[in-house]
Structure 1
Amino acid sequence: MTILIFFLAHWFLSLFCQTFFLHRYASHKMFKMHPFWERFFYLLTFISQGSSFLNPRAYAIMHRMHHAYSDTEKDPHSPHFIKDVYGLMMKTKNIYLDYRKYKIEPEPQFIDRYPNWPFLDRFADAWPTRIVFIVLYSLFYVQFATAWWMWLLLPIHFIMGPLHGAIVNWCGHKYGYSNHDNGDHSKNTLPLDFLMLGELFQNNHHKKPNNANFASKWYEFDPTYPVMKVLHWMRIITMRKM
């Protein structure tokens, strides 16, 4: 039971930071926040993603490219030009590293303000840091795993951030239904998207990319949106008016 609680806590906290901080804030600027809270959620993203921490700048550039070139050959992670999920992850990784390491510069239309914390970026991206997280995850399993099958969950902790992205980009552009004709292959995979905290409403999101609520029909529910409303009410964030 302890292992399952740990796995689910890691899954959903890491996923929340990705959809809330990296996607809705860094990429789309759906809300504003004080620099203190920006650093707070930046640090929380690092802690929650751990060994698979994703740099906000590189993430934002790639996501803006994804919207501009959705499901075309210039899309950095469309599943329609790659044969399997592994290939999708490798292609995404290579483009991500080009931007993370400043090997290439983004097109001017994708350059805008992104959250920036150079010290934490260097620390989080260092292999010793990633290895420490991997060791800590492993030691937790050594202490609390009570069945052989629990060990099958351990590698997922190592690649949690990129795995979430791969699930969204693969499933959200191949499987499900469409509410809108967006000129691409975006789909809403799940009408009640608790599994991915609203990220699998890709068809809705591509129709209205700056709308903080990824659900659009009465039977759809985006779990991250009410959390954002509470944070707005608490004045931690200030949501944009649509």
Structure 2
Amino acid sequence: MSCTETPTAPGEVSAASAVKRLDQKLIDMPMNADAAPAHRVPLRERLRSGVDWPVVTWIAFLHAGALAAPFFFTWKSVLLAVFLGWLTGGVGICLGYHRMLTHRSFDTFRPIRWIIAGLGNLAGQGSPLMWVANHRKHHAFSDHEGDPHSPQHGGLWSHMLWLMPRFSRKHYDSLYKRYAPDLLRDPFVRLLDHTFLLWYFLFGGALFAIGYFGWDFYTGCSFVVYGMFVRLVYVLHATWFVNSASHIWGYRNYETRDNSRNLWWVGLLTYGEGWHNNHHAFQRMARHGHRWWEVDVTYWAICVMEWFGLAWNVVHDARPKAAA
């Protein structure tokens, strides 16, 4: 040991090892062996604790705002929505929230990790803490009792109604500690959780300013309608289709204990997330498209990052040789 190195106490080493083992278990979440098969429960029973009106209002507000799209149509606004949809949905959610934060399919520099998490925070789907914790719980109980959004309780439930029940702060604290303790240790992730809505006002204001000062008032409004409302409605439903449609229709490459499916049109809408059976079979793999026709744009983006030295420890393949 160098004279400049600080000795580490045995207790600190064992504690760090325990944390690392816990993190590893969470990012490659095993299916709960004791999970009971899901049985359909009436919606009123699932809403017994009440309706989360802030969430319902948020979703309704976004859809109402998107209805203004025909009155503010410009091609540059459409292109803006497409680009921002990929940036916040493709990079922020699919690459960031899902493959980077939830499953640790690759590593990157901390500033880049924070930037990508910030992009995901602008996709309208909650903070990284909430998203990752719910998704890891989904893997632990997929299509069994305990799954937050299984189609076993109805297609519309798995698509969006699962967001309606109200839960206490204590519930979320417990959820985060159980399924996302690694993210709780990240100060920037905690900041995003506490300031979720603030970033939308800042981003919306920036879009309006760019349109207004770059062109005129109408363009400023158009940038907000398309860059915020239309984009968010698209990204939300595209992601929700992974939870709903990709557990109902499609084909299976692998036998899993859930009903996950590969669905081509969801794969196209979500930059590769629709190859859902592949993902449930091998969670940590950065590549969700396992056959040549299973297009996975998000995996290509990770490969580009790796080529430029911005990503490493990429889990290109986790399948046994016989399955590869």
Q: CA deviation at 1:164?
A: 3.4
Q: Deviations over 1:38-59 (max 9, x none)?
A: 222223334x42xx25211111
Contact 1:3 1:144 in 2 (8 A): no
Indicate which of 113, 120, 138 corresponds to 2:182.
113
TM-score under structure 2 length normalisation? 0.61
Offset at 1:124? 2.4
Q: Is 1:198 equivalent to 2:272 in the alignment? A: yes
The answer for the alignment partner of 2:38 in structure 1 is none
Which structure 2 residues correspond to residues 1-242 of structure 1 after superposition, within 5 A?
1-16=75-90, 17-46=92-121, 48-49=122-123, 52=124, 54-84=126-156, 88-92=159-163, 94=165, 103-106=172-175, 110-114=179-183, 115-117=186-188, 118-126=190-198, 129-130=199-200, 142-143=218-219, 155-159=229-233, 162-190=236-264, 193-241=267-315, 242=318
> Following the alignment from structure 1 to structure 2, what is the Cα–Cα distance between the partners of residues 112 and 175?
34
> 2 CA distance for matches of 1:154 and 1:32?
30
CA shift digits 1:155-185 (9 cap, x unpaired): 4334455433312111111121111121211
Counterpart code for 1:67: H
2:287 touches 2:296 (CA, 8 Å); kept in 1? yes
AA aligned to 2:149 is: H
- Is this contact kept in 2: 1:186–1:203, CA < 8 A? yes
**Contact 1:72 1:78 (C-alpha < 8 Å) held by counterparts:** yes
Per the alignment, do residues 206 and 234 of structure 1 end up closer, same or farther by CA in structure 2, a change over 3 Å counting?
same
Structure 2 CA distance for partners of 1:198 and 1:67, relative to 1, 3 Å: same
CA distance in structure 2 between the partners assigned to 1:215 and 1:33 by the alignment: 22
SS of 1:209 mapped into structure 2: coil
User: Could you report, residue by residue, the CA deviation over 1:97-148 in whole angstroms, capped at 9, with x for unpaired residues?
Assistant: 757x86440387624412541334322235xx545656777896942799xx
Q: Offset at 1:210?
A: 0.7
Give the residue type in structure 2 aligned to 1:225: Y
AA at the equivalent of 2:182? R
Determine if contact 2:106/2:314 at 8 Å carries over to the other structure: yes
SS in 1 for 2:306: helix
CA drift at 1:83: 4.9
- Tell me, which stretches of 5 or more residues in structure 2 are unaligned? 1-74, 212-216, 319-324
Under a length normalisation based on structure 1, what TM-score does the superposition of the two structures give? 0.79
Deviation at 1:187, TM superposition (A): 0.7
Residue identity in the other structure for 1:92: L
Contact 2:127 2:192 in 1 (8 A): no
State how far apart, in whole Å, the 1-side matches of 2:307 and 2:229 are.
Answer: 38
Aligned length: 230
Aligned-residue sequence identity (percent) comes to: 21
C-alpha distance 88-212 of structure 1, shift in aligned 2 (>3 A): same
SS class of match (1:185): coil
Provide the C-alpha distance between the structure 1 equivalents of 2:132 and 2:164, rounded to a whole number of angstroms.
14
CA distance in 1, matches of 2:136, 2:287: 18
